[in-house]
Amino acid sequence: MFADLHIHSRFSDGTYAPEEVVAEGRKHGFAVLALTDHDTAEGCAAAAAACAAAGMEFIPGVELTAEQDGHELHILGYGFDPTHALLLAQTEQFQGVRQQRIREMVARLNGLNVPLEADAVFALANCRAPGRPHVARALVAAGVCSSLDEAFERFLKKHRPAWVPKFKISATDAMELIHQAGGAAVLAHPGLNRVDEMIPDLVSAGLDGIECFHTKHSTATSQRYLEMADRLGVLVTGGSDCHGMNKGQPLLGSIRLPYLHVEQLKRRVAEIRTTANRTGAAPSPAIHLHP
Ligand SMILES: [Zn+2]
Ligand SMILES: [Zn+2]
């Protein structure tokens, strides 16, 4: 039995509806799926229902963009309550930040004499957590660029003329939020962020696991993180980071995480929930957005 624990849907920058994610996952023979949209868990209810109907297991997930010591890193949350009030309030705030960033990127494009309206991007994105891939798609739809790659290369990549820095929460606040909502916090694709030396500190601050298996990790990279997870005594997770058709070909099926790791994740979530219940209604952490 295998799992893919890192998948995006139409509720952020993926192209599949949650039901399509599940249908694709079923085709590939997965026993377990997790949906991990950026800054929203909105798709989880539909994905859970589709998984139940298909006889598959579903784990609610989310991917938060965080920052530690000036480095961007992504924190995955798993097994939390998707209707948790604090989680909903905070993700709504992150979504507002994303929408504002789209407006600023469009303003920069307009300054470069590229005619594009923010509303066109929002209409195309049709979700509360829009991102750069939606701007890229709007640029292709408007005939300004011939491909998503060209849109990123010319305008949207870091330090290109229409790039706007993204405001992020601290990794500690992201992990705290996930724990409060009853979930486990996992560092996404560390091989892409070059944050190895920070991982022991992140574990001390509450990190529960490392995404060792990822489409963009080489075998050697996965091995390095497996050893690190073992050494630090944290969970091992893995996923394709499939965005449907948004990043070329659908990646679902490229990573097959053995079920053993899902069992360990579920055990950790149960522990977190027991602790959360014991401490009762903990006061909400003050989560501050900072550049
Ligand atoms: Zn990511
Ligand atoms: Zn992702």
Looking only at the bridges linking them, the beta strands covering 71-78 and 169-170 are: unpaired
Token pair recorded at residue 274:
């027991």
Q: Give the whole-angstrom CA distance, residue 178 versus residue 186.
A: 10
Ligand nearest the Cα of residue 242 is 2
| Burial class (CB within 10 angstroms; exposed 0-12, middle 13-18, buried 19+) of 255 | buried
- Provide the b/e sequence for 55-87 (b: ≥16 CB within 10 Å): ebbbbbbbbbbbbbeeebbbbbbbbbbbebeeb
Give, as residue ranges, everything with CB less than 5 Å from ion ligand 2.
63, 241
Ligand nearest the Cα of residue 241 is 2
Token pair recorded at residue 230:
């073992």
Q: How far is the CA of 63 from the centre of ligand 1 (A)?
A: 7
The pTM (predicted TM-score) of the whole model is 0.91
Token pair recorded at residue 33:
């799926």
pLDDT per residue as tens, the chain (291 positions): 999 999 999 999 999 999 999 999 999 999 999 999 999 999 999 999 999 999 999 999 999 999 998 899 999 999 999 999 999 999 999 999 999 999 999 999 999 999 999 999 999 999 999 999 999 999 999 999 999 999 999 999 999 999 998 888 999 999 999 999 999 999 999 999 888 999 999 999 999 999 999 999 999 999 999 999 999 999 999 999 999 987 668 899 999 999 999 999 999 999 999 887 666 555 455 555 544
Q: How far is the CA of 64 from the centre of ligand 1 (A)?
A: 8
Q: What is the DSSP letter of 155?
A: I
Token pair recorded at residue 258:
């053995």
Q: How far is the CA of 281 from the centre of ligand 2 (A)?
A: 30
Ligand nearest the Cα of residue 4 is 2
Ligand nearest the Cα of residue 36 is 2
Q: How far is the CA of 15 from the centre of ligand 1 (A)?
A: 16
Token pair recorded at residue 194:
């070059």
Q: How far is the CA of 193 from the centre of ligand 1 (A)?
A: 9
Q: How far is the CA of 65 from the centre of ligand 2 (A)?
A: 10
